[in-house]
Structure 1
């Protein structure tokens, strides 16, 4: 349960928190909120002080029906921000939320430490080879289709079996390329409806059979706010509850908008475990 980030060996025996920094104008919860260097630096500093081990930076919105942007626009949004953050916080561990191999290459060259690919290599055939050459930790997420089509791609015969097979097949490909550090993400909300998300949460511990660290990102997602008849802005309590369920199921990284509350979850979970 160790991963190597820029020469630093991180032990995931105690779960870690990954803070979300969306640079997109159309993300479902915080779209457009971090559009200037000042707001980016303030939010990053806040998340680091609250205990985030990683900051996950995204410049392409992956919400359902999100607007497609070009590779050039994604790079123009994200590279200057990485330069800014690495300069201001030299020890920062940046995860880059992208499915494009060129963005992965350029952002790691600029100072990023992890690649977080929502498509699990399915939307860019060069991605696996790129991350293997870079030898950075790779977050392999389960999704079918694209952000624009995924809500119509939620047909499964046996969902959990299909997800485990998906990971097994892709992990084998990555191991063949000699990639050392792989983290799996079951992809809550990606090609899964609300009932399927809860079914997945209920069987989350079964993914531990893959013997890889698991990341869960359910922060303020529709499975919470639609179930509770709320808005995303009101879904922190539900997020905290499901983060706790995820920790109890063996999750090693919580990807969240609200770092302080997630860090508190981890502390209480560790006390319970001990």
Structure 2
């Protein structure tokens, strides 16, 4: 069972679900939400539908191509909680509890907090993750931090300017990039991690890797977060490494691999497909004992420009995943294509999109221009929480 709370205020979003479930488009009303429950076997779907309907709630049903059933409820968050609490049939109580927890997290999204390397993160606030690519060929700054000394200087500079997290990567993940072996990746990132931790022991470092071996050694040397752009698809054993080190994880969606991800990606419903992947992978992480989880829809990773815009516009539809949203849009090609800008001209539109994404639920911004990001963080935190000084 996968459940998602959907903002039905955008008319095109309501129209999509109205067509899917045979709902009159004339019943549109601004401010309503949908609670969609997907991937149900027919018997379970019928039982849930009957239990909810007998309380007087309208339930819409749709049969998927794989013969599984999706159910849709329309209303308010308060109404959805009442529906979940009203499911009293013994055989359905476990599902009712799962539904209630998903609804409750959506409602209390900003009350979540994590402790990472002795730093407290409260997600009524925004945080900045500075990007440090120790590579010769990353799309934005390839070669800038390729020498160990320059990488260390870059990391320290971002930390001293106020970045909350530094994301260190030794493998380029730009479209078309070839995979490198783990030994090369370790050789690039390990000296940087060791020296930065030596000089700034309180720094929160993230290792941007898909490989268990790289994650293992980075975590042993002081990294606290694993940012896996494959969402455990590349190396399933990486979950074990993260759990064993009691580390934090970023689970990202990517269609394909960096080498082929932009070779004609297609989606029927990009928000649903990305959500379902992140739902499944985040549950695997939680089951393995990982407590601190971020989810990332993977803007620009196996997405067309229109897919990226759909994900950004409907970013709040990911809040019911139960984990804070981390987002990386910095200097990406969909910005350049829309505005005809070179990579080094994209910082201002990047900040504009980042600002919008914070209003839709993003709480960690992975960005190249840390100075811009910090200004954005401070303004957002002042607006979002008047008690912050």
TM range (shorter): over 0.9
- Greater relative contact order structure (CA < 8 Å, 6+ sep): 1
Q: Does structure 2 retain, via aligned residues, the 8 Å contact 1:18–1:55?
A: yes
Query: 1:7, CA displacement in angstroms?
Result: 4.1
| 3-state SS of 1:239 partner | helix
Please tell me whether residue 203 in structure 1 is matched to residue 319 in structure 2.
no
Query: 1:153, CA displacement in angstroms?
Result: 5.9
Separation in 1, partners of 2:123, 2:130:
16
Indicate the residue corresponding to 1:104 in structure 2.
215
Separation in 2, partners of 1:41, 1:167:
33
Please tell me whether residue 56 in structure 1 is matched to residue 188 in structure 2.
no
Q: Relative to 1, partners in 2 of residues 1:266 and 1:6: Cα closer, same or farther, differing over 3 Å?
A: closer
| 3-state SS of 2:330 partner | coil
TM-score by length of 1: 0.96
Larger deviation, residues 168-177 vs 106-115 = 168-177
Q: Does structure 1 retain, via aligned residues, the 8 Å contact 2:255–2:303?
A: no
Query: 1:35, CA displacement in angstroms?
Result: 2.4
Indicate the residue corresponding to 2:138 in structure 1.
27
- Which aligned segments of 4 or more residues in structure 1 are displaced greater than 2 angstroms? 6-13, 35-38, 270-274
- Structure 1 residues 38-89: Cα deviation after superposition (integer angstroms, max 9, x where no partner): 3223222221122101000000000000122111110111111111111121
Query: 1:212, CA displacement in angstroms?
Result: 0.9
Larger deviation, residues 204-213 vs 152-161 = 152-161
Query: 1:209, CA displacement in angstroms?
Result: 1.4
Query: 1:208, CA displacement in angstroms?
Result: 0.8
Indicate the residue corresponding to 2:300 in structure 1.
189
Indicate the residue corresponding to 1:270 in structure 2.
381
Q: Does structure 1 retain, via aligned residues, the 8 Å contact 2:118–2:202?
A: no
Q: Structure 1: where are the runs of 5+ without partners? A: none
Query: 1:22, CA displacement in angstroms?
Result: 0.5
Alignment of 1:154-173 (within 5 A): 154-173=265-284
Q: Does structure 1 retain, via aligned residues, the 8 Å contact 2:135–2:143?
A: yes
Separation in 2, partners of 1:37, 1:60:
14
Indicate the residue corresponding to 2:256 in structure 1.
145
Separation in 2, partners of 1:131, 1:218:
25
Separation in 2, partners of 1:27, 1:168:
29
TM-score by length of 2: 0.68
Indicate the residue corresponding to 2:198 in structure 1.
87
Indicate the residue corresponding to 2:125 in structure 1.
14
Indicate the residue corresponding to 2:92 in structure 1.
none
Q: Does structure 2 retain, via aligned residues, the 8 Å contact 1:22–1:31?
A: yes
Separation in 2, partners of 1:223, 1:247:
19
Alignment of 1:125-136 (within 5 A): 125-136=236-247
Separation in 1, partners of 2:158, 2:334:
24
Q: Structure 2: where are the runs of 5+ without partners? A: 1-111
Task: Please provide the CA RMSD for this pair.
Answer: 1.3
Separation in 1, partners of 2:368, 2:121:
22
